[in-house]
Amino acid sequence: MTDRFSFDVTATSGKARLGVIQTPRGEVRTPAFMPVGTAATVKAMLPESVAATGADILLGNTYHLMLRPGADRVANQGGLHHFMNWEKPILTDSGGFQVMSLAELRKLTEDGVRFKSHIDGSEHMLSPERSMEIQELLGSDIVMCFDECPALPGDRAQIAESMRLSMRWAARSREAFGDRPGHALFGIQQGGLERDLREESAEALISIGFDGYAVGGLAVGEGQEAMLGVLDFAPDMLPADKPRYLMVVGKPDDIVGAVKRGIDMMDCVLPSRSGRTGQAFTRRGVVNIKNARHADDPRPLDEDCTCPACTGYSRAYLHHLFRSGEILSSMLLTWHNLHYYQDLMAEMRAAIAEDRFAAWEAGFYEQRAMGDIAPL
């Protein structure tokens, strides 16, 4: 254990990086996938089960938590870690991403964003200063700058203007965050798909100085090809000795593509959300458990998976649970998906350690190309 936040890259394979983030709450092995605990819970999972999948860190949503139960309430309960019974590191987003999606319910100014709660219509304000305050009340280990995240594709002038606003907000976030040993503040690069705007954004962030850098403003409608196109150059613009975090991404092949391009951290609701809608991610692609072909199938979802859903239950049973609307369906499929995502990260870390990432990646796509096991 350490009382400081630090990051070390211990091996590389092509642009892919193996590393470790040290925090007072434990270490995070990178590349890392962070399950999302929106409302102070990773939906349908006990926190000890999330840890058992191999997750070293969770993501919490400032927007959701400030509205319910409220940041002061969480602080009074001893902070988010104690509140939700998760003692390992937590990264919180700034609230910016969710607020921007409120559309007519928000009003944007240089100062920040006024908005109405989607829960009860009550009025709230988020600004760089307020976001820093809330994330501190929550007790977040890795705090994100407050930024604006425009949808893509977008008008270049608007994306430039938005990026420059985010950079001014990044400076205000840095100022408001102050000096908090053991806690980290990450800047967020913007600039859409434009290389020169990404460069301008990276330079602005570096001149302010952060403990880590996120590639923001992606996975907002541009498609995988465009996203990976940006990742061909954007991570290289960010300091090599700090963690690089790709926000709200993604599907397994998005994650593999991002790690290949030098990304160290990712988060996404996909494995947990898909678990609740009957979609399982496996080594051989996506399995829709509600399909009738599984109704009499005694085989597990993924024969190479060691999660409780795959070692204890058949597809026939999981199909029955899903069709019956049973909570256990969400529990088991979410567990499987999070376990699969962590297995994927562990496999990539092992491949980078042995400098065989390209070969591993070829095997990953080969296995997926086989498709799901044949029906009985």
Q: Active-site residue numbers?
A: 93, 267
Is 324 near its own copies (CB under 8 A)? Answer: yes
| CB 22 within 8 Å of CB 366 | no
Q: Which two tokens stand for residue 358?
A: 């390209």
- Parallel, antiparallel, or unpaired for β 32-35 and 265-268? parallel
Binding test (CB under 8 A) with its own copies, winner from 24, 26, 54, 308: 308
Is 310 near its own copies (CB under 8 A)? Answer: no
Binding test (CB under 8 A) with its own copies, winner from 326, 350, 365, 370: 326
Which residue number, 74 or 255, has a Cβ lying nearer to its own copies? 74
Please, what's the largest Cα pairwise distance for the chain? 62
Residues 55-114 touching its own copies, rule: CB under 8 A, are 68-69, 73, 76-78, 83-85
Half-sphere exposure of 246 (CA within 13 A, CB side): 31
Choose the binding region for its own copies from 6-14, 44-52, 207-215, 244-252 (rule: CB under 8 A). 44-52
Which residue number, 79 or 229, has a Cβ lying nearer to its own copies? 79
- DSSP classification of residue 103: G
Binding test (CB under 8 A) with its own copies, winner from 117, 224, 291, 314: 314
| CB 184 within 8 Å of CB 142 | yes
Q: What angle do CA 256, 259, 262 make, to 5 degrees?
A: 155
The residue whose two tokens read 């009340």 is 137
Is 316 near its own copies (CB under 8 A)? Answer: yes
Q: How far apart are CA 371 and CA 297, in angstroms?
A: 17
Q: Least distance to its own copies from the beta carbon of 117, Å?
A: 13
The one-letter amino acid code at 207 reads: S
Choose the binding region for its own copies from 41-49, 107-115, 122-130, 199-207 (rule: CB under 8 A). 41-49
Is 322 near its own copies (CB under 8 A)? Answer: no
Is 312 near its own copies (CB under 8 A)? Answer: yes
Q: Least distance to its own copies from the beta carbon of 46, Å?
A: 7
Is 296 near its own copies (CB under 8 A)? Answer: yes
Buried b (16+ CB within 10 A) or exposed e, 38-51: bebbbbbbebebbe
Q: Least distance to its own copies from the beta carbon of 321, Å?
A: 6
Q: How far apart are CA 343 and CA 19, in angstroms?
A: 17
Which residue number, 43 or 356, has a Cβ lying nearer to its own copies? 43
Is 245 near its own copies (CB under 8 A)? Answer: no
Q: Least distance to its own copies from the beta carbon of 175, Å?
A: 32
Binding test (CB under 8 A) with its own copies, winner from 46, 240, 350, 358: 46
Q: Least distance to its own copies from the beta carbon of 322, Å?
A: 11
Comparing CA positions, the residue from 313, 259, 253 lying closest to residue 285 is 253
Is 313 near its own copies (CB under 8 A)? Answer: yes
Rg (CA), the chain: 20
Is 330 near its own copies (CB under 8 A)? Answer: yes
Is 305 near its own copies (CB under 8 A)? Answer: no
Is 289 near its own copies (CB under 8 A)? Answer: no
Q: Is 223 helix (H, G, I), strand (E, B) or coil?
A: coil
* Number of residues near its own copies (by CB under 8 A): 35
The one-letter amino acid code at 327 reads: I
Is 122 near its own copies (CB under 8 A)? Answer: no
Choose the binding region for its own copies from 121-129, 173-181, 328-336, 359-367 (rule: CB under 8 A). 328-336
Which residue number, 251 or 293, has a Cβ lying nearer to its own copies? 293
Sheet strands (E) in the chain: 6-13, 16-23, 26-30, 32-35, 58-60, 90-92, 106-108, 113-116, 123-126, 142-144, 184-189, 212-215, 244-246, 265-268, 279-282, 285-288
Which residue number, 33 or 322, has a Cβ lying nearer to its own copies? 322
Distances, alpha carbon 183 to alpha carbons 62, 85, 189, 212, 371, in Å: 16, 19, 20, 11, 44
Which positions lie near its own copies, rule CB under 8 A? 39-41, 43-47, 68-69, 73, 76-78, 83-85, 295-296, 298, 308, 312-314, 316-317, 320-321, 323-324, 326-328, 330-331
